[in-house]
Amino acid sequence: MEFNVQELKNLTKKQTVKEAQLIQFDGIRIVVMSDEYLLFTDLPRSTKETMIGTAPLGTVPSATFEKFLQKVKQETIDISSTNQELKIQVSKKAEAGIRLVPNQEIPSEPPEKGWKDLDPKWTEAALNASSCCAPKPDGGFSLTLVNCTANHVEAADQMHVIRIPVKNGIEAQLHNHSIKAIQEVTPTKWVDGEEWIWFKGEEGILGVRKFKTDSFPKLDRIFDKEGIPLMVPSKTILPALEKADVFSDGTLSLSLTKGKAEIKGEDETGWYKESIRIKYDGPDVSFKSPCVVLKEIIEKGTDWILTEVSVRIEFDGAIFVASLRKQ
């Protein structure tokens, strides 16, 4: 069957596809599969009309397919399958074969009924919370999860804790990689399932695997720690945050001393540091924060509380806690 190369490239360049393990050409749709999520997307209309009534072409490693596709310069390719491989006809003189993954069934199918409207603010809240998750389960698998309840979403790693209020929330524990996939779909509808939560949006239907662990930390005791009020830093440090974010590994450091704020970002490519004169007459404070959260708390933060071991900041109804760093 003939496929438009650019339309396939537009699909495979999505982070959701890049981080998946498998891609399946399943009749009139494409299914992307990872350990945490399933993405169902329709074939382009021109291809879809020629595929009606045809058998699925099969499943191949998504990384191999994406890597090969980026090398193709032709406008269209022809894809067919045998019992063992996905055959890609690039031109009369060029063809390729990607070995099929045998016996690969789709773990679950999207439900037809029960879809409900999704508050767009939920996706933003969940994404901000996921920035405080541990990227790897070094400190325990529960720290890679976003804990979603009817009233809030929350997450924690070894240095940060965050809780963001939501309305009519989803009750589940979701892997932080899944949250990023949800954002990419731009969902407007959702429905709960037994093992999966489903989201429907402009880019298709996404199924996200639900996890259940009793080891997710109880965060109330962290939020309730007593401390002393801090002066809220001036928004004049925001331009420095933007520049430091260029060199960020996902987090930025903020240090406050009398009359001065220092911002620093560093990753494997380089670093940026800037000192800014501000109105601040409180104790010395230094902590790291995910970039997206730090911008939010500088723009919207209302109450800053210093405890013996952390700084607690309230912004837009949310609560963020960061462990103090030695200066």
pLDDT tens string 147-182? 999 999 999 988 999 999 998 889 899 998 899 899
pLDDT for position 52: 47
In terms of DSSP H, where are the helices of the chain? 5-12, 15-18, 45-51, 62-69, 120-130, 176-185, 220-223, 238-245, 291-300
Lowest mean pLDDT among 49-58, 135-144, 251-260, 269-278: 49-58
**Which architecture does CATH list for 116-221?**
Roll (3.10)
Instruction: Report the amino acid identity of residue 89.
Output: Q
pLDDT greater than 90 at residue 57: no
Report the share of the chain in percent with pLDDT over 70.
95
Q: What is the pLDDT of residue 302?
A: 82
Cα separation, 151 vs 310, in Å, equals 25
Tokens representing 33 are 């599969």
Asked if CATH classification 3.10.150.10 holds for the domain at 225-323, the reply, yes or no, is: yes
pLDDT band at 105 (very low <50, low <70, confident <90, very high): confident
Q: Please state, for a pLDDT cut of 90, what percent of the chain lies above it.
A: 60
Residue 327 has pLDDT above 70, yes or no: no
Q: Is a pLDDT exceeding 70 seen at residue 51?
A: no
pLDDT at 45: 55
Residue 67 above 80 pLDDT?
Answer: yes
Which own/partner pairs from 35-38 qualify as long-range (CB within 8 Å, at least 24 positions apart)?
35/209, 36/175, 36/177, 36/178, 36/181, 36/208, 36/209, 37/177, 37/178, 37/181, 37/206, 37/207, 37/208, 37/209, 38/106, 38/107, 38/108, 38/196, 38/206, 38/207
Predicted TM-score (pTM) of the model is: 0.84
Domain boundaries, the chain: 2-99, 116-221, 225-323
Neighbours of 239 (CB within 10 A): 12
Q: Is the pLDDT of residue 85 over 70?
A: yes
CB atoms within 10 A of CB 112: 7
Phi-psi label, residue 292: left if phi above 0, alpha if psi -120 to 50, beta otherwise: alpha
Contact 196, 37 (CB under 8 A): no
Domains 2-99 and 116-221 are alike in CATH topology: yes
Residue 122 — very low, low, confident or very high, per pLDDT cuts 50/70/90? very high
Q: How far apart are the first and last CA of the chain?
A: 63
Distances (CA, A) of 324 to 3, 285, 289, 304: 54, 7, 11, 13
Tell the CATH superfamily of the 2-99 domain: DNA Polymerase III, subunit A, domain 2 (3.10.150.10)
